[in-house]
Amino acid sequence: MVVTLIGYRGCGKSTVAVLLARHMNWTSIDADVELERRAGKSIRDIFADDGEPRFRQLERDVLHELLQRDQLVIAAGGGAVLNAETREEMKQSGPVVWLQASVATLETRIQRDAETASRRPSLTSGSPVGEIETVLQQREPIYRQCATHVVSTENLTPDEIAAVIFEQLGESPRTGEPA
């Protein structure tokens, strides 16, 4: 069984995945970091050198493999849910937790993350806030459709978010039964 964390860039997936895995005595992996490791370059460079379609195929391949594992918490890339097959595999593999945050919170977190600018491409030609609003408008219905659990990350520490998820999941990650 796998627990997959989904949501927009900056919602806390990477940090929370490690903490949640600790609660569960499982392993965690950041799918974007794994993709970059396999590609030998940053996501920004993949977009620039090979284009978004190539990146999305690499993302699909990595997630397909990771979703076959057991006792794993995956921090999925923000756009991983764009692929219908990936969404279906996420749901078949175990709980899918959508981490939500407001546009203002996402912008603040993204600006505080020094690696974001060097590793992640801009997805629109708009301002940072405009990009978040535009992309969220497109992705929120997909996140909603894919998620089995939804957790607001507003005003919570990463440890608190992991504890909320762990509590919501109850016994389901260990037994495969609904919480």
Domain ranges (residues) in the chain: 2-170
Percent above pLDDT 90 for the chain: 77
pLDDT value at 125 more than 90: no
pLDDT value at 170 more than 90: no
Determine whether domain 2-170 maps to CATH 3.40.50.300. yes
How far is 88 from 51, CA to CA, in rounded Å?
A: 25
Phi, psi of 8 (to 5 degrees): -70, 155
One-letter identity of residue 74 = I
Kind of pairing, strands 27-30 and 2-6? unpaired
Per-residue pLDDT band for 110 (boundaries 50, 70, 90) equals confident
pLDDT value at 122 more than 70: no
* pTM higher than 0.85: yes
pLDDT value at 172 more than 60: no
The residue behind tokens 């620039």 is 48
Q: What pLDDT, in 10s, does the model give residues 136-149? A: 999 999 999 999 99
Tell me what pLDDT residue 49 has. Answer: 95
Give alpha helix (H) positions in 51-127: 52-66, 84-93, 103-112, 114-119
Q: Directed axis angle between helix 43-50 and helix 52-66, to 10°?
A: 130
Phi, psi of 51 (to 5 degrees): 90, 160
Tell me what pLDDT residue 37 has. Answer: 96
Element (H, E) at 14: helix 13-24
How far is 157 from 66, CA to CA, in rounded Å?
A: 27
Residue 126 per-residue DSSP state: S
How far is 11 from 9, CA to CA, in rounded Å?
A: 6
How far is 161 from 176, CA to CA, in rounded Å?
A: 22
E strand map for the chain: 2-6, 27-30, 72-75, 96-100, 149-152
Phi, psi of 175 (to 5 degrees): -110, -15
**87 exposure class (CB count in 10 Å sphere: 0-12, 13-18, 19+):** buried
